[in-house]
Amino acid sequence: MAYSGKYKPRNREKYRGNVDKITYRSLWERTLFNYCDEKDFVIKWSSEEYNCVIPYFDPVANKQRRYFCDVWARIRHPESGSYQDFLIEVKPKKETQEPAKPKAQTRKAKNRYLTECATYATNMAKWEAAMKFCKKKNMTFLIFTENQLV
């Protein structure tokens, strides 16, 4: 069950982009937006709406595509006062792990498994491209699941 909507930040000056176009596509994304908006050590942040575009090759579709990471955030380290930029992707944990082969050999189970494999392969391609992009830009790429956002 997916939940989406418009996010209205309390600290509008921290948001990089149009504050009227902030859209969350899950309650987990909304939780992360809230965190970025409220924490003092998050200096600036943005959502997909104003984020970098990362080209990647999608092995499932067999073509070049563009990846828009869910959140960019600039964090100030309290001890040193230095800054670090992060790209953060929000995904269900099951999409970050290789799918298990189905126990039942029904058509429905096999089709679900193939869909999960395709999603996993696409995600791996996106995240590999994101890690390379971040390395070039001296940024850190993170994947948050429901485990980090509770």
Residues carrying an active site annotation: 29, 70, 91
Contacts by 16-25, CB closer than 8 A, 24 or more apart: 16/44, 16/45, 16/46, 16/50, 16/72, 17/46, 17/47, 17/49, 17/50, 18/49, 18/50, 21/49, 22/47, 22/49, 23/47, 23/48, 23/49
